[in-house]
A = this chain, B = another copy of it.
Amino acid sequence: MAKHNTPLLDELESGPWPSFVSDIKQEADVRAKNEKGIDFQIPSEACDDLLGLLELSYKDGTTHWKHGGIVGVFGYGGGIIGRYSDKPVEFPACASFHTVRVSQPGAKYYTTEFLRQLMDLWQLRGSGLTNMHGSTGDIVLLGTTTPQLEEIFYTLTHDMDQDLGGSGSNLRTPADCIGQSRCEYACYDTQELCYFLTMMYQDELHRPAFPYKFKFKFDGCPNGCVASMARSDLSFIGTWKDQIGVDQAEVALYVDGTNPSNAGAHKGRDWGAFDIQAEVVDLCPTDCMKYENGELKINDKECTRCMHCINVMPKALKIGKQRGISMLAGAKAPIVDGAQMGSLIVPFLPIDQTMNKQLADFDSEEDWMEYLEEKYAAFVEVIEAVWDYWMEEGKNRERLGELMIRQGLQKLLEKIGMEPQAVHVDHPRTNPYIFWKEDEVPGGWNRDINEYRKHHAR
């Protein structure tokens, strides 16, 4: 029997989509029955009380959580979100209900072994509830008490070789798309770069030294499956500089209907026979393709690598071979100055296609990291220049994007040593309110009024 009556929540048990209410009840039940005989380190009724508290919110239409207090593990400035309820008497088992952010692995691949270990820990020391995953990417362990924090951290680091993720004015846990591990569109190894930078900047991730939060995300190509352009202060998006590879024989198989368009993504409706002119050539945003006499021609010079044609005909068209990354900066949610997408700051940084060694090729992770430092030196340089600038000029709680708006994109470009180029803008400025630097203007700015008046009477 459930501890609290939850008639409103119960209505969320029906319908086909997995019911979080059913799932929480399941965990409440497991805790109540405790068939495994766990010596729960936080109240066993945590899930029950959480449901009760949530039911109250469904009834009175407001949240019952208070501001997080400052809790955490020794020496870290992030990774834990403190949380207390404003109904501690009524729902004591979830009166304090902190979350632990656990740094997720690349592309969120897991072994069941790891997950089971983690869940055992969490049933022992927490509510048994999680978010798989938080929007930033972390494994979010939802609901524990302050005394458990160090214990959890200890077990994670000692027994599972696993660290916490980010929160606070830190680097947040970087996240990547599945990339080369299972995607033919990936222009670089998102897992490798994401992991390398995560390891490289462990200090920045755990100890707040920034004006505010900072996020990295890694998309293997412009399709943007980890939405880096929308959600990361620095986004790394794979692209290429040479030609799209065209296999005319496969093109023909699309044209004759053998290959399904867009790898079958549109199978749910009869859109009629595939029309390469209408579906590919005419939709190319740069109008740089031609289909003539059974041959598809691409004027790659004008192609902006939008991925459309490749997405439609993945068997026939292939990303280029001279690969690298476009870096965009400043994406963020709307608080406080309005939302931002990432703005292009580094159009293309090549990735050395000959540097393909994997961790397994090295004696130690340190050696491998050294190798990667060389491989990704150019990226590190940009990142650190961005940070230096932001830490110097950014106000408290000012995201990089807001600083960019306040001081201008050109300021950031200057600081990272990037020559301004037309590709940095959608279009040049429409207002002529140009700031010149004094040394760009012959004669400087300090002029003598008396000299001026010699030629211009008052």
Chain A residues within CB distance 8 Å of chain B:
60, 62, 64, 66, 86-88, 334, 338-339, 430-433, 455-458
Contacts and interface: CB of A to CB of B under 8 A. Distances in A.
A442 to B, nearest CB: 12
B88 A334 contact: no
Contact of A334 (B62, B86, B432, B458): B432
Given A66-B456, A66-B458, A338-B431, 18 more contacts: A60-B455, A62-B455, A62-B456, A64-B456, A66-B457, A86-B455, A86-B456, A86-B457, A86-B458, A87-B457, A88-B457, A334-B431, A334-B432, A334-B433, A338-B430, A338-B433, A339-B430, A339-B431
Contacts of A87: 457
Contacts of A430: 338-339
A198 B158 CA distance: 85
A239 to B, nearest CB: 26
A59 to B, nearest CB: 11
A293 to B, nearest CB: 21
A430 B333 CA distance: 11
Contacts of A458: 66, 86
21 contacts: A60-B455, A62-B455, A62-B456, A64-B456, A66-B456, A66-B457, A66-B458, A86-B455, A86-B456, A86-B457, A86-B458, A87-B457, A88-B457, A334-B431, A334-B432, A334-B433, A338-B430, A338-B431, A338-B433, A339-B430, A339-B431
Contacts of A457: 66, 86-88
A457 B89 CA distance: 10
A322 to B, nearest CB: 35
A149 B433 CA distance: 37
A88 B431 CA distance: 36
Contacts of A456: 62, 64, 66, 86
A433 B455 CA distance: 54
Nearest to A89: B457
A287 to B, nearest CB: 12
Nearest to A65: B456
A336 B440 CA distance: 25
A67 to B, nearest CB: 10
A334 B434 CA distance: 13
Nearest to A64: B456
A431 B336 CA distance: 10
Nearest to A430: B339
A66 B458 CA distance: 8
A64 B456 CA distance: 7
Contacts of A339: 430-431
A420 B302 CA distance: 42
Nearest to A336: B433
A86 B456 CA distance: 5
Contacts of A64: 456
A129 to B, nearest CB: 23
Residue among A86, A338, A431, A456 with max Cβ neighbours from chain B (10 Å): A456
A87 B457 CA distance: 7
A342 to B, nearest CB: 16
A275 B136 CA distance: 53
A77 to B, nearest CB: 26
A88 B338 CA distance: 54
A457 B87 CA distance: 7
Nearest to A90: B457
Contacts of A62: 455-456
A331 to B, nearest CB: 14
A296 B433 CA distance: 47
Nearest to A456: B86
A455 B53 CA distance: 12
Pairs of residues from A and B, 7 with the lowest C-beta to C-beta distance, nearest first: A86-B456, A86-B457, A338-B431, A334-B431, A339-B431, A60-B455, A88-B457
A362 B87 CA distance: 82
A404 to B, nearest CB: 17
A207 to B, nearest CB: 31
A269 B89 CA distance: 86
A123 to B, nearest CB: 29
Contacts of A66: 456-458
A455 B66 CA distance: 12
Nearest to A63: B456
A87 B455 CA distance: 8
